[in-house]
């Protein structure tokens, strides 16, 4: 499959889940960069200017919500998907409020194929 001109940043500190994500996105037609902390994710977002960022909320060095806020403060317009196990209304509201328009996926409630499908929808990739 040919690569298209879309870049995704995945920020996830759970090494096992990150490995699953890597495999799930391996045959997709876009380039992917990875970070394992909020701080590293913010630095990569500034450097890479990805089209879409998938962010876990519970991250070392800087949580995903703070990272998303800083991304917006930097003027980075990437689409954001929060991918987390936190499903309480407080975290969902805080995450969405942090960046305005964002998607929120609860890891335990969705299959990997659905995550890939949502990313493709956000990036308008058929």
Q: For 70-102, how does the pLDDT look when each residue is reduced to its tens digit (9 = 90+)?
A: 999 999 999 999 998 888 888 788 888 888 888
List the 103-106 sheet strands across, edge first: 31-35, 7-11, 52-55, 79-84, 103-106
Q: State residue 13 phi and psi, 5-degree precision.
A: -95, -15
Distance CA 88, CA 19 (A): 26
Q: What is the pLDDT of residue 3?
A: 59
Q: Are 81 and 105 in contact (CB under 8 A)?
A: yes
- The ranges assigned to domains in the chain are 7-122
First to last CA, the chain: 12
Grade residue 2 by pLDDT with cuts at 50, 70 and 90. Answer: low
Q: What mean pLDDT comes out for the span 95-121?
A: 87
Comparing CA positions, the residue from 92, 68, 63 lying closest to residue 80 is 68
Grade residue 56 by pLDDT with cuts at 50, 70 and 90. Answer: very high
Whether pLDDT at 51 is above 90: yes
Whether pLDDT at 1 is above 70: no
Whether pLDDT at 38 is above 70: yes
Whether pLDDT at 5 is above 90: no
3-state secondary structure of 83: strand
Which overall architecture, per CATH, does domain 7-122 show?
A: 3-Layer(aba) Sandwich (3.40)
Q: What is the pLDDT of residue 26?
A: 86
């Amino acid at each position: 499959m040919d690569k298209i001109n879309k870049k995704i940043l995945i920020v996830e500190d759970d090494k096992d889940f990150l490995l699953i994500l890597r495999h799930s996105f391996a045959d997709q037609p876009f380039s992917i960069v990875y970070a394992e902390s909020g701080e590293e994710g913010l630095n990569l977002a500034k450097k890479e200017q990805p089209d879409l960022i998938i962010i876990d909320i519970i991250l070392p060095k800087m949580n995903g919500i703070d990272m998303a806020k800083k991304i917006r403060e930097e003027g980075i317009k990437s689409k954001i998907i929060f991918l987390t196990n936190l499903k309480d209304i407080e975290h969902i509201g805080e995450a969405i409020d942090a960046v305005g328009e964002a998607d929120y996926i609860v890891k335990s409630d969705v299959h990997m194929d659905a995550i890939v499908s949502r990313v493709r929808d956000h990036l308008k990739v058929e």
